[in-house]
Amino acid sequence: EEFWDVVKGFFGKEGSESVFTSFKTRMGEWLTSHLSPKKSNGWIGECIKKTIKDIDMRDVHKISDCEFLTKKISSSIIQKLKEKMSNEELKDNGLYDIVRGGMSDNVDSERFKDHIESKVSDMICPILRDMSNRFDSTFDEMKKGAVGLN
């Protein structure tokens, strides 16, 4: 949060929003490369990128919060999965519809939601912790340089 306050001080409201937008784009790509490396342009990769892109400026301080991003990304993936399963073009009035119906019931369950959140958290939290530590270290170096301690 302190870092974004400094960015806002340097660039003003509009400039800091532009920096935040660029940061979100890069972060979305970076997270996707870690969470969906073989299919970074697949539907899950696109969900991750869109979720990060859609984070509002007022939530800038949550950008590295594991619980916040876990819930956002999990929700986005589940919503996209529901959309994919309700795709009218795939209905065949046969076995596929039965399987899809059973899967839809499971996707709507709290158990499935909790499972997805748990697995996303297991993957994303160590990555965010590392990113946050690097961010803090870089910011500390910037502060030292700004006051002439380097």
- Which of residues 69 and 104 earns the better pLDDT score? 69
Residue 148 to residues 11, 44, 136, 144, Cα–Cα distance (Å): 21, 45, 18, 6
- The radius of gyration computed from the CA coordinates of the chain, to the nearest angstrom, equals 19
The pLDDT score that the predictor gives to residue 20 is 83
The pLDDT score that the predictor gives to residue 69 is 95
- pLDDT tens figures, 21-48: 888 899 999 999 988 888 888 999 999 9
Percent of the chain with pLDDT over 90: 37
List, in order, residues 6 or more apart from 31 with CB less than 8 Å away: 48, 52, 124, 127
User: Which pTM was predicted?
Assistant: 0.76
Which CB contacts under 8 angstroms, 24+ apart, belong to 67-70?
Answer: 67/121, 69/124, 69/128, 70/117, 70/120, 70/121, 70/124, 70/125
d(CA 134, CA 131): 5
